[in-house]
Amino acid sequence: MSVGAGSGIVDFFHGFQVALMMTVMFNLTQFIYWRCAASRNGTCWNKYQPVLWTFIATILVNVQPIMILTFGSFKLCCAECATVGVKEGCPANGMSYPPWGNGIPRPCDVRRGGNTFWDKSYCDGSKLAMFPVKWEGWCVQIFCTYGGFVFMLVGILQATQLHVKFVKQWRAIRSGRR
């Protein structure tokens, strides 16, 4: 996204975030799988339900970082030609993605200025794009990222039975039996 100073480090960390999140989430899913395989009985659904919750969480949590990496890698921020450095050959609607090395403009939809997360005022790199400013971006943030962490919590609690252990310990403490 950013074409300003330090954009290389921003692009690097977008890629690093994707690599780190995918590694952590897929390793968690694998851990939950082996834990369920070793400690749970019953039907396939009873045994591996926590794995499904965690796998869905893995996919959901990685949606936003992958989208942001894609937008940054392919410079997908639609704005006025002058804003993104298109000097000649501007499309008829006056909007373009930043050109790649050849200087040829890449036309974009004038109604969609910017991208899923940020409006066209972020395309010149002068603003720090920390949080989405468009409703589509907030939907991805809330439903995919936060929803994914809720799914992850459900999967972990089911696999480890931690909630059952807490209740059991609480009852033991309340009855004075520690």
Q: Over the stretch 37-78, which tens digit does the pLDDT of each residue have?
A: 999 999 999 999 999 999 999 999 999 999 999 998 888 999
Q: Is residue 52 part of a domain?
A: yes
Query: 109 lies in a domain?
Result: no
Residue 86 lies in a domain: no
Let me know if residue 101 belongs to a domain.
no
- Whether 141 is in a domain gets the answer yes
Answer yes or no: is 130 within a domain.
yes
- pLDDT at residue 6 in the model: 52
pTM: predicted TM-score of the whole model, two decimal places: 0.83
Residues 20, 3: Cα–Cα separation, whole Å: 24
**Is residue 29 one of the residues assigned to a domain?**
yes
Q: How many structural domains is the chain composed of?
A: 1
96 occurs within a structural domain? no
Range of the domain at 67: 7-77+114-174
- Cβ(122)–Cβ(115) below 8 Å: no
What is d(CA 16, CA 30) in angstroms, rounded to the nearest whole number? 21
Does position 4 have pLDDT exceeding 80, yes or no? no
